Amino acid sequence: MKTAFVIFLAVTSLTHAVHAELKTNIEYGTAGREILRLDANVPDGTGPFPVILAVHGGGWSRGDKTGTGDFAPALQALTANHFTWFSIDYRLAPTNHWPDCFDDVQTAIRWAKAHAAEYKGDPNRIALLGYSAGGHLVCLAATLARPDTRVQAVVGLAPPTDLVADAKHRGGVGKWSSMRNLLGRDSMDEETLKLLRQMSPTAHVKPGLPPFLLMQGDSDKTIMPLFTRNFAAELKDNQVPCELYFLKGPGHRIADWEKFDPSWQQRLADWLNQTLVVKK
């Protein structure tokens, strides 16, 4: 593993200040000639702390692990509440097509399980957290998990969960630039529909999945709240614990959510703490 540099930071978001160590550019895998990297937050204290594997958004084609911009509020909430977290980079479209980004998330889960203790984390208490496209990736990873990628909780922040319905709502893959870039195709033929179904978390819901928290602005115009409601209903129909929380007023960008609901970050952290509690 390589650590490019180590910095110490004080987080003053939410209700209190905390100190944590941020380690950057740690190698978690390789894909061809590309090195996959993540950043790690190590809380002050002895631990072991619950572990969050964080996956940024950006339409599968933008964004990065640093948490600048839209993803920053989520990482700030995790830091302020003493979680060990790993925020990953993954291969982006259009240079890379499906399922490269999904494969990278699965690689990162395996790495987190193997290395959590090195960062004061508990490998038996791991949650996935993803925003937008990252939310899609973590929800799919949870629904398709095998023993080596199974985790204990999942958080989707405005996640696309039904790509067939989403594509039809947008007028087809050809009019959905992010999906067109991800798939490298623009036709809504039967082959594409089959692939979209396979990529949709809602198509793989079954009993025995870990608990889910789904959070979204009720004025989201990018991901229809109806699709998130339908996914939550499917989870509950399969006896999967699911908390669905719609913020009143905001749209898709979580960077704007605090203006409408200052409590959302703490609600996120509280749910994670309650769900990842040490079982005696």
Angstrom distances, CA of residue 24 to CA of 54, 71, 114, 280: 14, 16, 18, 34
- DSSP state string for 164-222: HHHHHHTTSGGG-HHHHHHHT----SHHHHHHHHHH-GGGG--TTPPPEEEEEETT-SS
The average confidence (pLDDT) of the chain is 93
Give bridge partners of residue 86 from the DSSP assignment: 40, 53
- Tokens for 201, please give them: 């978390």
Q: The domain 6-162+200-275: what is its CATH number?
A: 3.40.50.1820
Looking at residue 78, the DSSP 8-state letter turns out to be: H
Quick: pLDDT tens for 206-223. Answer: 999 999 999 999 999 999
Contacts of residue 171, Cβ cutoff 8 Å, sequence gap at least 6? none
Q: What are the CB-based long-range contacts (under 8 Å, 24+) for 195-199? A: 195/98, 196/163, 196/164, 196/167, 197/163, 197/164, 199/98, 199/99, 199/102, 199/136, 199/140, 199/163
Contact by Cβ (8 Å): 193, 203: no
Which ranges of the chain have pLDDT less than 70? Answer: 1-18, 280
pLDDT score at 280: 60
Task: Please state the φ and ψ torsions of residue 24, each to the nearest 5 degrees.
Answer: -115, 155
Confidence (pTM): 0.94
Quick: pLDDT tens for 87-127. Answer: 999 999 999 999 999 999 999 999 999 999 999 999 999 99
CB atoms within 10 A of CB 207: 9
